[in-house]
Amino acid sequence: MSQQSIDLRGVSKSFGATRVLEDIDLSVKEGEFLSLVGMSGCGKSTLLRIIAGLEAPDRGSVFIGAADVTARDPSDRNLAMVFQSYALYPHMSVRQNIATPLRMRILTLPARLPLLGRLLAPTAVLAQIDTDVSKAAETLQITHLLDRKPGQLSGGQRQRVALARALVRQPAAFLMDEPLSNLDAKLRAHMRDELAALHRRLGATFIYVTHDQTEAMTMSDRIALMIDGRIEQLGTPDDLYQRPATLAVARFIGSPTINLLPAEADGEGRVTIAGQSTSILARPGPLTVGIRPEDLETGDEGLAAEVLRVETHGPDRFLTCALPTDRSTVTLRQGASARPARGDMLKLRIPPERAHLFGSDGQRVPARITGRVAA
Partner 1 sequence: MTDAALTPAAPARGAIALPRGLIFVAPAVLLMLAIYILPIVVLTGFSITDYRLGALRWEFVGLQNFRAAFQDPVFVRALANTALYAVLVIPTGVFLALGIALLVQGRRHSRALWETAYFLPVTATLVAMATVWQFLLHPTLGPVNAAITWAGFDPVSFLGNPALLIPTLALIGIWQVLGFNMVLFLAGLTAIPNDLLDAARMDGARSPIDRFLTVTWPMLGPTTMFVIVTTSISAFKVFETVAVLTKGRSGSETLLYALYLEGFEYSNTGYAAALTLIFLAIVLVLSIGQTLRMDRRVHY
Least distance between partner 1 and beta carbon 104 (Å): 3
Q: 80 or 227: whose CB is closer to partner 1?
A: 80
Q: 153 or 261: whose CB is closer to partner 1?
A: 153
Least distance between partner 1 and beta carbon 227 (Å): 25
Query: Contact 368/280 with Cβ under 8 angstroms?
Result: yes
Q: 3-state class of 373 per DSSP?
A: strand
Q: 54 or 308: whose CB is closer to partner 1?
A: 54
Least distance between partner 1 and beta carbon 374 (Å): 48
Least distance between partner 1 and beta carbon 166 (Å): 8
Query: How many Cβ atoms sit within 10 Å of the Cβ of residue 337?
Result: 6
Q: 75 or 255: whose CB is closer to partner 1?
A: 75
Q: Which of residues 338-367 bind partner 1 (CB under 8 A)?
A: none
Binding track over 92-111 against partner 1, x by CB under 8 A: x-------xx--xx---x--
Cα torsion at 232, 235, 241, 242 (round to 10°)? -110
Q: Which residues pair with 11 in a beta bridge?
A: 24
Q: Which of residues 143-162 bind partner 1 (CB under 8 A)?
A: 149-151
Least distance between partner 1 and beta carbon 207 (Å): 13
Q: 13 or 356: whose CB is closer to partner 1?
A: 13
Query: How many Cβ atoms sit within 10 Å of the Cβ of residue 68?
Result: 12
Judged by CB under 8 A, which of 1, 39, 54, 338 binds partner 1?
Answer: 54
Q: Which of residues 109-138 bind partner 1 (CB under 8 A)?
A: 109, 112
Query: How many Cβ atoms sit within 10 Å of the Cβ of residue 81?
Result: 23
Q: 91 or 190: whose CB is closer to partner 1?
A: 91
Best CA proximity match to 197, nearest among 140, 157, 239: 140
What's the rounded Cα separation, in Å, for the pair 274 and 263?
A: 6
Query: Contact 265/284 with Cβ under 8 angstroms?
Result: yes
**Parallel, antiparallel or unpaired: strands 173-177 and 205-210:** parallel
Q: 104 or 120: whose CB is closer to partner 1?
A: 104
What's the rounded Cα separation, in Å, for the pair 262 and 350?
A: 13
Q: How many residues bind partner 1 (CB under 8 A)?
A: 30
Least distance between partner 1 and beta carbon 40 (Å): 17
Best CA proximity match to 225, nearest among 248, 198, 255: 248
What's the rounded Cα separation, in Å, for the pair 309 and 343?
A: 8
Does position 165 bind partner 1 by CB under 8 A? yes
Binding track over 55-94 against partner 1, x by CB under 8 A: ------------------xxxx--xxx-xxx-xxxxxx--
Least distance between partner 1 and beta carbon 102 (Å): 9
Beta strands across the sheet bearing 59-64 = 18-28, 6-15, 59-64, 67-68
Least distance between partner 1 and beta carbon 206 (Å): 15
Least distance between partner 1 and beta carbon 65 (Å): 18
Q: Where are the strands (E) in 182-315, listed by range?
A: 205-210, 222-227, 230-235, 259-265, 270-273, 276-281, 285-291, 297-313
| Interacting residues with partner 1 (CB under 8 A) | 49, 52-54, 73-76, 79-81, 83-85, 87-92, 100-101, 104-105, 109, 112, 149-151, 165
